[in-house]
């Protein structure tokens, strides 16, 4: 089916669900089209072209090429009122898809393994619906199609390019399809939802030598090993037990032969936390431990620490808005899951640092259809019924916020 076959007569609010049911085959078609042509961070050219073509066809004002491939669509009700931003990410991952579905990735080594094809589809359909029903809200809805969520991050350059200005965005919402939760549930909470994501790499410079003569060396592997174990004391002994944080060493490279004491060792890892008050303490403790252990053994070190994304922190009022809307969509309070925090990161956080908002998880797993593989897995896929639910939540949020 083509977009032109979509009913273009405006519908009343009470008719929202039938209207979305009518859209559902298109949602599936668009999502599968995007799924088959995944593009990596800041290379979402065909994806952006697909979005822009549709927006143009529907007469929706939009700007392309923001932060390389980003798009902002403006849907103006024509009546003064608030400005709500809706954000969708567009990028895929460098993963070889193992699914055999007809819509599987046609790009070797690239895959929509996180559901961003679904996010783009939901936002696109929301834009379509709102453009056809401008009487159903006041003010303006800005739909932000963002590149590179998987890193290095497209949210920040889009904000720097001014997407939250002119007209100024009052609040933001966004969603992630979530295979951690079953279809028919929504993970929503106020406060911290996703963790700050930071990383480090450290080279320890010892003094290499013969494996039989350790007294003549400074063993970089032994020192790095002590550092790895001691780093765990940061979470165990410096972070309040009521706060969540995790330090993971995911890289350890050293040595070339069994009978040689290694001159240098390299370790690298990630640091994650919810509470912004931990922001300075964690890297400080990390360096104190590395520096203290190195100096006690006569080694030197070179530490590189970087901050990727801040924590995703939801505004209480906006979380209430999303929760109340989601309750009507899932039709049971039991379908709302407040215990949905994850130590994963998301650059939606940059938007939520600028304006109040709510990021939430839309349950998309369906075990009976074998659609429950975790995100970033080569067999990840989700129940496409969630697409329509996403559109309904976004539209109802607009109708409730933009009054």
- From 107-115, 165-173, 227-235, 365-373, span contacting Ni ion (CB under 5 A): 107-115
Q: Which of 114, 159, 387, 402 binds Ni ion (CB under 5 A)?
A: 114
* Inter-helix orientation angle 116-132/385-401, to 10°: 50
Q: What is the 3-state secondary structure (H, E, C) of 285-336?
A: HHHHHHHHHHHHHCCEEEEEEEEEECCEEECHHHHHHHHHHHHHHHCCHHHE
Residue in 39, 44, 149, 150 annotated catalytic:
149
Q: Which H or E run includes 17?
A: helix 16-36
Q: Which two tokens stand for residue 70?
A: 């980003």
Let me know if 149 is a catalytic residue. Answer: yes
The smaller minimum CB distance to Ni ion, of residues 273 and 359, is found at: 359
Residue in 39, 89, 91, 170 annotated catalytic:
91
Let me know if 117 is a catalytic residue. Answer: no
Q: Which residue is nearest to Ni ion (CB)?
A: 114
How far apart are alpha carbons 48 and 116 in whole angstroms? 13
By CB under 5 A, residue 88 contacts Ni ion: no
Counting DSSP H helices and E strands in the chain, the numbers are 9, 16
The smaller minimum CB distance to Ni ion, of residues 114 and 294, is found at: 114
Whose structure tokens read 């799924």? 35
How far apart are alpha carbons 165 and 159 in whole angstroms? 9
**Least distance in Å: CB of 113 to Ni ion?**
9
Site for Ni ion in 297-336 (CB under 5 A): none
Cβ contact 23:125 at 8 Å: yes
The smaller minimum CB distance to Ni ion, of residues 131 and 364, is found at: 364
Site for Ni ion in 351-390 (CB under 5 A): none
- From 70-78, 106-114, 280-288, 321-329, span contacting Ni ion (CB under 5 A): 106-114
**Least distance in Å: CB of 176 to Ni ion?**
6
How far apart are alpha carbons 4 and 22 in whole angstroms? 13
Site for Ni ion in 147-186 (CB under 5 A): none
How far apart are alpha carbons 125 and 394 in whole angstroms? 10
The smaller minimum CB distance to Ni ion, of residues 300 and 377, is found at: 377
The smaller minimum CB distance to Ni ion, of residues 234 and 372, is found at: 372
What is the CB neighbour count within 10 angstroms for residue 68?
Answer: 17
- From 114-122, 160-168, 280-288, 394-402, span contacting Ni ion (CB under 5 A): 114-122
The DSSP letter of residue 373 is P
Total residues contacting Ni ion by CB under 5 A comes to 1
- From 109-117, 220-228, 291-299, 382-390, span contacting Ni ion (CB under 5 A): 109-117
Q: Which H or E run includes 172?
A: strand 171-182
**Least distance in Å: CB of 175 to Ni ion?**
11
The smaller minimum CB distance to Ni ion, of residues 150 and 198, is found at: 150
Output the CA torsion 197→358→280→277 (10° steps).
Answer: -140
Residues designated as active site:
91, 149
Binding stretches for Ni ion (CB under 5 A)? 114
């Amino acid at each position: 089916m083509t977009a032109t076959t979509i009913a273009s007569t405006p519908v009343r609010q009470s008719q929202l669900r039938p209207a979305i049911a009518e859209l559902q085959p298109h949602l599936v078609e668009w999502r599968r089209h995007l799924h088959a042509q995944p593009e990596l961070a800041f290379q979402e050219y065909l994806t952006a072209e697909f979005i822009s073509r549709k927006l143009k066809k529907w007469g929706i004002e939009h700007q392309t090429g923001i932060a390389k491939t980003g798009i902002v669509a403006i849907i103006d009700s024509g009546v003064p009122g608030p400005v709500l931003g809706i954000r969708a990410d567009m990028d895929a991952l460098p993963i070889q898809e193992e699914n055999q579905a007809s819509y599987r990735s046609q790009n070797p080594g690239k895959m929509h393994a996180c559901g961003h094809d679904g996010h783009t589809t939901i936002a696109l359909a929301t834009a379509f619906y709102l453009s056809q029903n401008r009487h159903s809200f006041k003010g303006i809805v800005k739909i932000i199609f963002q590149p590179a969520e998987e890193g290095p991050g497209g949210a920040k350059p889009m904000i720097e390019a001014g997407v939250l200005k002119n007209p100024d965005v009052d609040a933001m919402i966004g969603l992630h399809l979530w295979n951690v939760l079953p279809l028919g549930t929504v993970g929503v909470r106020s406060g911290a939802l996703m963790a700050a994501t930071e990383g480090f790499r450290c080279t320890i410079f010892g003094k290499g030598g013969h494996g039989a003569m350790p007294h003549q060396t400074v063993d970089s592997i032994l020192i790095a090993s002590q550092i790895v174990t001691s780093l765990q004391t940061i979470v165990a002994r410096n972070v309040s037990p009521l706060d969540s944080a995790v330090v993971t060493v995911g890289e350890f490279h050293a040595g070339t032969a069994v009978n040689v004491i290694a001159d240098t060792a390299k370790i690298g890892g990630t640091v994650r936390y919810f509470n912004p008050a931990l922001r300075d303490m964690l890297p400080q403790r990390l360096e104190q431990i590395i520096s203290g252990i190195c100096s006690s053994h006569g080694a030197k070190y070179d530490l590189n620490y970087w901050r990727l994304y801040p924590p995703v922190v939801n505004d209480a009022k906006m979380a209430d808005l999303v929760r109340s809307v989601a309750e009507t969509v899932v039709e049971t309070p039991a379908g709302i899951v407040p215990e949905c925090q994850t130590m994963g990161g998301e650059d939606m956080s940059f938007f939520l640092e600028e304006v109040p908002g709510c990021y939430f998880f839309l349950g998309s797993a369906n075990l009976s259809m074998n659609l429950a593989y975790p995100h970033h897995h080569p067999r990840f896929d989700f129940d496409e019924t969630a697409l329509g639910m996403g559109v309904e939540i976004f539209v109802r949020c607009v109708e409730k916020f933009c009054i």
